[in-house]
Amino acid sequence: MNISTATLGYPRIGKNREVKKALESFWRGETVQDKLLQTVKEVETTNWQTQLAAGIDRIGIGDATLYDQVLDWTIRLGLIPQRFQGFTGLERYFAMARGKDNLAALEMTKWFDTNYHYLVPEINSYITPQADFTDLIETVKRGQAILGNKAVPIIISPVTFLHLSRLEGVELGDFLSLILPLYSSLLTELKALGIKEVQIHEPALVLGDALSFKEQVQTVYKELATVGIEINLVTYFDDLGDTYPWVITKIAIAI
């Protein structure tokens, strides 16, 4: 029997904490933006090559981040609170992460039961999703050049993303209907690049209230499955508990 191996993520900071050092240097004004981004790419490339040399069959890519993966998806989906819309690029990114000019940063809270934290997206009826996946697509192309068909993009599910967001004046299901087409468009673009499989990370499935958003989860995977790209549904931190039967029968089989 052949055993297939896969990575669901990889340490992002660098063997010698290169990304941390470059980031702090950038914040102090000692490193220019291009140098910071180049350092991140170099660490990311080294990580890919390490996994490739180890013989991993499916290597997760696209999880590297300057600060927080949830913030990355907030930016990609265009969910920018009004107070940050006067900024652009990395200035906006770090204003949302750390605050700027007396503007409060996004709230930081624990990533499930880990010691890692994430920045909570603020979503209200005034925000209109507007996707820009340019950075992820560029990463995927670089990954393909090094890893070939072993490159598997990592995507945070829209359900988990919204479940971890602060929703004000909008319902999860209603806003999900706005961003789901953006995810479908992303998968279509990845398929056109020759990507055969993606990882969709759905850690919210292990939460105690997972049954309450069963309908939304099923809607997402029914829609994304129509794109025709293989979906590897990933969850972690705990077992699925009572959600296991319907995840297996309603979702896993469908994708």
Residue 39: count of CB within 10 angstroms of its CB: 20
% of residues, the chain, pLDDT over 90: 90
> What's the number of CA atoms in the CB half-sphere (13 Å) around residue 57?
6
**252 has a pLDDT exceeding 90:** no
pLDDT tens digit sequence for 53-74: 999 999 999 999 999 999 999 9
Q: What is the pLDDT of residue 136?
A: 98
Q: Which pTM value belongs to this model? A: 0.95
Does a structural domain hold residue 110? yes
Instruction: Give the 3-state secondary structure of residue 102.
Output: coil
Does a structural domain hold residue 51? yes
Does a structural domain hold residue 160? yes
Confidence of residue 6 (pLDDT cuts 50, 70, 90): very high
**Virtual torsion, Cα 64, 68, 69, 75, nearest 10 deg:** -110
Does a structural domain hold residue 216? yes
Q: What is the pLDDT of residue 246?
A: 87
Confidence of residue 249 (pLDDT cuts 50, 70, 90): confident
Parent domain of 13: 6-252
Largest CA distance in the chain: 60
Question: Measuring CA to CA, which residue among 13, 3, 15 is closest to residue 58?
Answer: 3
Angle at 204 between CA 203 and CA 208, to 5 degrees: 125
Does a structural domain hold residue 148? yes
Confidence of residue 161 (pLDDT cuts 50, 70, 90): very high
Does a structural domain hold residue 1? no
What are the Cα distances from residue 254, in Å, to 27, 28, 186, 201, 223? 46, 50, 19, 16, 10
Confidence of residue 101 (pLDDT cuts 50, 70, 90): very high
% of residues, the chain, pLDDT over 70: 98
**235 has a pLDDT exceeding 90:** yes
**186 has a pLDDT exceeding 90:** yes
Q: How many domains in the chain? A: 1
**45 has a pLDDT exceeding 80:** yes
**7 has a pLDDT exceeding 70:** yes
Residue type present at position 244: Y
- Residue 54, token pair as written in the block: 């180890």
What are the Cα distances from residue 10, in Å, to 14, 43, 45, 48, 185? 10, 11, 11, 9, 26
- Residue 56, token pair as written in the block: 């991993």
E-strand spans in 128-212? 151-156, 166-168, 197-201
pLDDT tens digit sequence for 104-154: 999 999 999 898 999 999 999 999 999 999 999 999 999 999 999 999 999
Does a structural domain hold residue 104? yes
**1 has a pLDDT exceeding 70:** no
Residue 114, domain CATH: 3.20.20.210
**255 has a pLDDT exceeding 90:** no
Does a structural domain hold residue 19? yes
